[in-house]
Amino acid sequence: MGGRRRTPKTKGGARNAAEAVSTLTDGPVEGEFEIDTGTARLERDRFSTGWILYVNGVPSSHVDLAAPEQLDFEYMRWIAALMRARFAPDDFGERKLRALHLGGGACSMARWVHATYEARQVVVELDGKLADYVRQWFDLPRAPLLRLRQGEAGQVLGSLTEATRDVVIRDVFAGDATPDALTGEETARDADRVLDAGGLYIVNCGDRPDLANFRREAGVLRSVFGHVVAVADPAMFKGRRRGNVIIACSQEPVVAEVAAAGLRRELLGGGVPAAYWDEEKVRAFAG
């Protein structure tokens, strides 16, 4: 589910897929393309040097080729803020942070993680043809720093060796909803198993004003992880709109007490100010 952007934009225009394929080696090109799961549309962002990717009509990603550290979707900036509050770039030394992305899109988040941490990353994308386009359109780090793996997110997660990741980010949507199979206890336990000590599991939960998805997912995650926090804009938490709730969990405190005040200040300073719910608030909400 695409997050709100600071400068919303819509624009028509499409290119025959066969014509577009012939220009892939030249980088991104505006147009509409057939992919394994439907259609992808790529548009220039007239307000920046970025590109906007729509998957089956839903805003999926924004990539700024000139600034990989720039995240245009609000919910991605919230994920970045949580990661910065938890991990410093030099925490891992030469070993490098190990990140797994369930759901790829245009790899906006993976490009940010690379720019910030120079991590070793795997991006799992169900749509193999979309992954091929993204690799050719955008300047992605090469393996072993960033590998694109085609497959179903839950199956790939379940196949991975335990304690091999420091961060797992779930950002998988079919339309505007996460498949039910990825929101249950089995996926949460697989994520916990794959994470190393002190690892962080972050999920993008799309929801409506009743916050039923958030309540359910928070309850599931609290049954697996010892510490669960959340970030969303205040109107979302108050049940006034639909949008994204970012839930972060770990077997250790997600954000140290000394870092929480700084995180709150950073979240309030964004284009869409966000609220941070600590463990106590999430516990009270989930029941």
Annotate 223-257 with DSSP letters as a single string: HH-SEEEEEE-HHHHTTSS-EEEEEEEESS-SS-H
Residues 140 and 37 in one domain: no
Last residue of a domain, one of 5, 30, 64: 64
Residue 6 lies in a domain: no
Residue 150 C-beta-side C-alpha neighbours within 13 Å: 12
Name which of 29, 108, 119, 121 is nearest 70 in CA terms.
108
Give the number of other Cβ atoms within 10 Å of residue 142's Cβ: 8
Q: What pLDDT was estimated at residue 26? A: 63
Range of the domain at 159: 74-286
Q: What pTM did the predictor assign?
A: 0.90
229 and 277 in contact (C-beta within 8 Å)?
Answer: yes
Both 23 and 89 in a single domain? no
**Do 156 and 105 lie in a common domain?**
yes
Q: What is the pLDDT of residue 176?
A: 75
Quick one: 93 and 30 in the same domain?
no
Interacting residues of 206 by C-beta distance below 8 A, sequence separation 6+: 1, 173, 176, 177, 178, 213, 242, 243, 244
Per the structure, how many domains does the chain have?
A: 2
pLDDT at 3: 57
Same domain, 40 and 79: no
Pairing of strands 38-44, 50-55: antiparallel
The answer to whether position 8 is within a domain reads no
CA-to-CA distance for 58 and 229, rounded, in angstroms? 27
**pLDDT for the residue numbered 104:** 87
Domain shared by 201 and 256, yes or no:
yes
pLDDT value of position 285: 96
Hey, how many other C-beta atoms are within 10 angstroms of the C-beta on 33?
Answer: 21
Whether 193 and 272 map to the same domain: the answer is yes
Q: Which amino acid is it at 145?
A: L
pLDDT < 50: residue spans in the chain: 5-25
93 in the same domain as 25: no
